[in-house]
Amino acid sequence: MFLKTHNLFDFAKGGVYCIKCLQNNKVYIGSSASFLERSARHWTLLKAQTHECLELQQDFKKYGNAFFEFTILVFENHLQKRLQLEKQLIAQQPPNKLYNVLPSSRFEKKRPVLGQQILMDKKSYSTIREAERATKISKATIMRRLNNSEDLICSRLSKKPVSLGKYNFIVNEVRYSSTQEVVANNLARSDNQVRERCRSKSLKWKHWQMVQKHRSNDYPDRE
């Protein structure tokens, strides 16, 4: 995957970008405060075969990195404007030429959230996250083992419904249903970082809050 721009220093800026497959012209559109950091993250996940966009991952494996192009679409440093531009550009693409998973209609019944039960080293785990915590093996390594057909002692079992977390997360007055959703919007690097910022008493993070679902805020507004 190569970077397409007129000025390499542009990649230190933020805005909306796309990853395009040159074989089928399909695109993945995203946004970030740093093009350089986000492109590196995509590259790392794709090389490790652990990218969250399964269709993009499959085509990357099929065609190889030489047929993928990272392109800056719009420069925008303001977070909310950037997210709005990202949504608009995704909506403008033909669905059959888009890697992004489009949100379901509000009239459709929501699908249950499923956890992937796995068998690893003769032990069963209800989710990949549980296996990560119990074994201290990273999620990326577990995913590589699951995707390796020659690893006969690490395999996927059934999927089962899992309950969502107890908290919503409010960042700059925008509500997110999980830490993963906050990370997916490029607001933090990890689940733990989201929680640390919400619990911090620093004025820098005063607009980050954890709110227990259907109950009052566990972390009251900080002055």
- The tens digit of pLDDT for each residue in 28-60 reads 999 999 998 899 999 998 998 888 888 999 999
Q: What is the pLDDT of residue 63?
A: 94
In the chain, the amino acid numbered 138 is S
The token pair that represents 44 in the structure block: 């790392």
Q: Is 19 exposed, middle or buried (0-12, 13-18, 19+ CB in 10 A)?
A: buried
- Please give the Cα distance from 9 to 6 (Å, whole number): 9
Q: b/e string for 81-120 if b means 16 or more Cβ within 10 A?
A: ebbebbeebbeebeeeebbbeeeeeeeeeeeeeebbbbeb
Q: Please check whether residue 81 lies inside any domain of the structure.
A: yes
**Can you give the residue range of the structural domain that contains 180?**
167-212
Could you tell me if residue 108 is inside a domain? no
State the pLDDT confidence band at 215, using cuts at 50, 70 and 90.
very low
Kindly state whether residues 130 and 52 are assigned to the same domain. Answer: no
Q: Are residues 90 and 6 in the same domain?
A: yes
Which of 13-22, 138-147, 148-157, 162-171 has the largest mean confidence? Answer: 13-22
Assess whether 6 and 81 both reside in one domain.
Answer: yes
Whether pTM > 0.85 for this model: the answer is: no
How many domains, the chain? 3
pLDDT at 206 over 80: yes
| Cα distance between residue 170 and residue 215, in whole Å | 14
In the block, residue with structure tokens 């740093």: 34
pLDDT tens-digit readout, 92-136: 999 899 998 776 443 344 555 556 788 899 888 878 878 888 888
**Is residue 104 included in any domain, yes or no?**
no
For residue 218, tell me if it sits in a domain: no
What's the confidence (pLDDT) of residue 11? Answer: 81
Whether residues 132 and 185 share a domain: the answer is no
Domain for residue 109, yes or no?
no
91 and 45 share a domain?
yes
Q: Is the CB of residue 129 less than 8 Å from the CB of residue 177?
A: no
Residues 122 and 185 in one domain: no
What's the count of helices (H) and strands (E) in the chain, helices before strands? 7, 10
In terms of domains, do 92 and 6 share one?
Answer: yes
Residue 13 shares a structural domain with residue 90 = yes
Q: What is the DSSP letter of 98?
A: B
3-state helix, strand, coil in the chain (%, to 5): 35, 25, 40
